[in-house]
């Protein structure tokens, strides 16, 4: 591995284990003659600022030590540059790390950086922001809002499940006009999830066919249904079996437009990214990622 590495860490991630994860990774890298600096975040937006500075300062790699929110910020600084993204997963969901095949152990994740294998992956873009995993609209974005606002007393998948249980009591659906390569759809929906990768919420396989190297986005659209039916369908999401349900539809597109009668909040990578109306696009090969040895390096 050549060049300087910046580790941007969220000290609060992993129930306060973020700094410890970053330090263990740094120790392994420096023991192998890699120049490493750690910068801890203290507020939202810091990770993107630090990563942008690293690009300007000539760093070869910026490693995001935290969850998908930290990755989201760092990605928005690195997209379209030659600086590699490293991932040291230490968050609620770690869905992008899972998609990249990054181990959860700090030492093993640091070893991925050390080996120096790099691959080019796609990103999506919504309302001017890049995203790495999934954009949510509807029921799941409202659940994401609960998690983001700290109204959820759990971590990981348990946090998402708690949010689902709470939202089931009040959610009534949203009228959506969705236009993409597949045409135009007008439908009252429970949710519409647009995936660059297949999972969110700590491994929930909402878009099982999504591939961050195929140049396209996969959409899962679910018609509005009763709470009882939601509870029957929901367990299937963990293995992608929900796509067989008659109220669930899957589409693939390079560009997507979402319109609703009233503005509806959107979340991407568990972070707020504005409201509808919105345009979402696939950005092929936008990000260089330090990842386990692939069939070939780029």
d(CA 68, CA 131): 10
CA 163 to chain centre: 18
CA triple 9-92-45, angle to 5 deg: 40
Which among 266, 292, 298, 290 is positioned nearest to 124, based on CA atoms? Answer: 266
Set 259, 271, 275, 279: catalytic member: 271
The Cα 199–Cα 209 span in angstroms is: 10
Q: What is the spatial distance between Cα 224 and Cα 140, in angstroms, rounded to a whole number?
A: 12
Residue 271 is a catalytic residue: yes
- Mark 17-29 as b/e (b = at least 16 C-beta within 10 Å): bbbebbbbbbebb
Residue 173: half-sphere exposure toward Cβ, Cα within 13 Å: 14
Cα dist. 228→82, 137, 240 in Å? 49, 21, 19
Is residue 140 within 8 A of residue 147, CB to CB? The reply is: no
| Pair 124, 283: CB distance under 8 Å | yes
Q: Could you list the active site residues?
A: 271
């Amino acid at each position: 591995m050549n060049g300087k590495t910046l580790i941007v860490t969220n000290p609060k991630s992993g129930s306060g284990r973020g700094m410890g994860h970053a330090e263990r990774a740094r120790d392994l890298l420096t023991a192998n003659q890699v120049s490493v600096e750690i910068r801890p975040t203290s507020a939202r937006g810091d990770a993107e600022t630090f990563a942008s500075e690293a690009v300007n300062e000539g760093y070869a790699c910026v490693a995001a030590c935290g969850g998908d929110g930290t990755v989201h910020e760092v990605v928005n600084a690195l997209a379209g540059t030659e600086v590699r993204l490293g991932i040291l997963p230490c968050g609620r969901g770690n869905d992008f790390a899972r998609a990249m095949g990054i181990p959860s152990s700090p030492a093993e994740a640091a070893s991925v950086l050390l080996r120096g294998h790099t691959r080019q992956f796609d990103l999506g873009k919504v309302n001017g922001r890049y995203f790495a995993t999934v954009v949510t609209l509807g029921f799941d974005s409202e659940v994401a809002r609960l998690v983001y606002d700290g109204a959820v007393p759990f971590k990981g998948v348990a946090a998402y499940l708690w949010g689902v249980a709470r939202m089931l009591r009040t959610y009534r659906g949203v009228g959506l006009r969705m236009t993409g390569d597949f045409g135009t759809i007008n439908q009252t929906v429970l949710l519409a999830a647009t995936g660059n990768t297949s999972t969110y919420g700590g491994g929930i396989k909402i878009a099982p066919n999504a591939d961050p190297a195929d140049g396209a986005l996969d959409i899962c659209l679910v018609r509005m249904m009763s709470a009882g039916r939601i509870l029957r369908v929901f367990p299937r999401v963990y293995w992608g079996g929900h796509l067989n349900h008659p109220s669930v539809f899957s589409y693939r597109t390079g560009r997507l437009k979402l319109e609703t009668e009233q503005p509806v909040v959107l979340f991407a990578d568990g972070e707020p990214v504005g409201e509808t109306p919105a345009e979402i696009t696939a950005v092929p090969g936008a990000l260089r990622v330090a990842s386990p040895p692939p069939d070939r390096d780029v």
